[in-house]
Chain A
Amino acid sequence: MIKLRGISKTYKLGAERVHALRGIDLDIHDGEFLAIMGPSGSGKSTLMNIIGCLDRPTEGVYQLDGINVRKLGDARLADVRNRRLGFVFQSFNLLPRLNAVDQVAMPLSYRSVKNRKKLAIAALRLVGLGSRMRHNPTQLSGGQQQRVAIARALVGNPTIILADEPTGALDTATSHDVMELFRALNEQRGITIAFVTHEPDVAAYTRRIVSLRDGRIVSDQPNVPIHARTPAPNEVAGAPPPAGPNA
């Protein structure tokens, strides 16, 4: 459950002040699947970084699961990222030397969790990579790498998965596969997902589209999701949950 009120972000670029965000009010509820759209320079990435606790707003209130994130120190903020947030990046951002299981287990090593490998394997099965557990990133296709990244975001059982242009580095067919995976995770597992995109095709999968321009929300509308390919991938159904509640 995310609540943003009057969020502003100002950068100093030399002597100039750049207003990346100018008073954002936004609520994201559990189980939502939304896209944040806007042209480049609209502030969507800054917003994502603030929601993702990688950056702090200059002004405003940000509550994540009732926690006032703005007041947290670096160590507590790292803990919030670890337990409540899952990231998926445009360029996958996998570590070069680890195999899929170790990639997915990595976030769990920053908190004391037992059965890290077991949880990682379950998360990989959930994204349909049950047969590629021991592969390194270089041995995986782009789509597979992004699935590993999604499994890594899922494994800690976060409040929300944040994705920054998750299909930006993928071809059209693979993009649609990944979006189908997101939708299935949202519809069948109830996982909250928010992502930034500038592709209307990709945004069309979601049930809510927020548009930004010049650091302000210009529209926030529900969307009727299109189905590019039916039905949802089979591997999602029947797979074990990635982690116990509040693990």
Chain B
Amino acid sequence: MSLIDVFITSLVALRGNFLRTLLTMLGIIIGIASVITLTAAGAGAQQGVAARIKGLGSNLLFVNPYSPTPPGGIAALLGATGASLYYEDELAIRKANIPGIDETAAQSTTGGPGSLIQVQAIYGGVNASTVQVGTEPSYQYVRDFYVADGRFLSQDDLDKKSLVVVLGAQVADELFGNTEPVGNTIRIFAGLSRQFGVTFSFTVVGVMERKGVTATGNPDDQIFVPLPSIQARVPLVRNPRGFTNVNQISIKLTDSSKEQSVKNAVADVLRKQHKIINEDDFKVQSQSDVLSTATSVDRTLQVLLVSIAIISLIVGGIGIMNIMLVSVSERTREIGIRKAVGAKRRDILMQFVIEALVVTTIGGAIGVLAGVGAIEIARTFTIGGSGTRYLVTPFWVGVGLTMSAATGLVFGVYPAWRASRLDPIEALRRE
């Protein structure tokens, strides 16, 4: 029997049981649609992360505290890493005059999701949860993130520990709406909850430019204050040894070819500063290091997503096998008739395998379309946030179609084999 004949025969049989065919297909459709949607979300996220990390500013190194053995208990709850980085470390790096360093900026960040100490900016009855960044004037240049209205923090602010604040664009929107924020006084609350904390009044001196959501957070949902001002006033930032804790030191390089030498030189300075003998209590990372971390997180996510998709395909495949077995037993008489008029085992085997393949490949194709459709809907209604990207890649479309066909083959062969082994006399006798 020619392949076209087999194909037509399968189509006729499948059309004869349209609802059942459709329901059987549904398993595959959902499986493939989820492969397409999930991988598109994964690929979009990956692409987005890469773009956003590049958007952090060029030629950046980040120094962060890092503990090879993280602490447990209350210290972990407070967000401590068991390691510390100090403002004095930055001064030491500057003093070392390392060639290749353009500029540095230290920052101490409080508040934000996942942080125990929450920060609220309060003005005129509006409370806005936000992230407070204590930093220096060099921050603008190092992070390539500039003030748009008013001025940024000055060295004078730092020296006097002035209570001045520069608002991120989103915070300014939330607190002031259309009115001019600069010159007004807001209150900033920092503490464990609404009851336990401190509140200070800060004068708004500037508003930052709008950047949009990035991989490392939302820079527009931040407020900037002089580093010594919060260190002097906010508990848990002060250090009993008289040092001033910071979360991060950003280092801007003169050019990216100096990355490795600067990394080594900075590490040497910090080891001396921290009197390190064995393991470092800090990490110096470039943007590409951060990127590769983000990518590996993404890959883990993708493995997870694809596993889910494969599981749903296996479930769909079992559905197909089930229906094919039912179909074989329902059509026993037909198989007997076909064998009596000269169908070989191979012909019957082919007929049922092709039937399963037709169901799964059509299901796979519909699944691809459904996946793309679901992505379009997600885009239209900004499901997952307006910043969520989706990227349908030909690779995953190919994988989806191949997997659906493979499902048909794997789960169709056994019922088809059973059909082909039927004894024609027995088959004809069956009602």
Contact = CB atoms under 8 A, between A and B. Distances in A.
Interface of A: 49, 52, 54-55, 74-75, 78-79, 81-83, 87, 89, 93-98, 106-107, 109-112, 152, 156
B259 interface: no
B344 A75 contact: yes
Contacts of A55: 425
A75 B2 CA distance: 16
Given A93-B333, A98-B12, A52 B340 contact: yes
Given A75-B346, A106-B341, A97 B5 contact: no
A156 B342 CA distance: 11
A83 B12 contact: no
Contacts of A79: 342, 344
A110 B1 contact: yes
Contacts of B344: 74-75, 78-79, 110
B424 interface: yes
A81 B342 contact: yes
Given A55-B425, A109-B1, A112-B2, A93 B345 contact: no
Contacts of A75: 344-346
Nearest to B424: A54
Contacts of B16: 96-97
Given A75-B346, A78-B343, A87-B340, A109 B428 contact: no
B346 to A, nearest CB: 7
A156 B340 CA distance: 13
A83 B337 CA distance: 15
Nearest to B344: A78
A97 B338 contact: no
Contacts of B334: 95-96
A97 B337 CA distance: 14
Given A75-B346, A109-B5, A110-B347, 9 more contacts: A54-B339, A54-B425, A78-B344, A79-B342, A81-B341, A96-B334, A106-B338, A110-B344, A152-B341
Nearest to B9: A109
Given A54-B424, A97-B16, A110-B1, A78 B339 contact: yes
Q: Which 10 A-B pairs have the closest CB atoms?
A: A82-B342, A107-B341, A78-B344, A110-B342, A81-B342, A97-B16, A109-B5, A75-B344, A93-B337, A54-B424
A82 B341 contact: yes
B428 A89 contact: yes
Contacts of B339: 54, 78, 81
Contact of A111 (B336, B340, B342, B345): B342
B13 interface: yes
Contacts of B13: 97
Interface string B109-141: 000000000000000000000000000000000
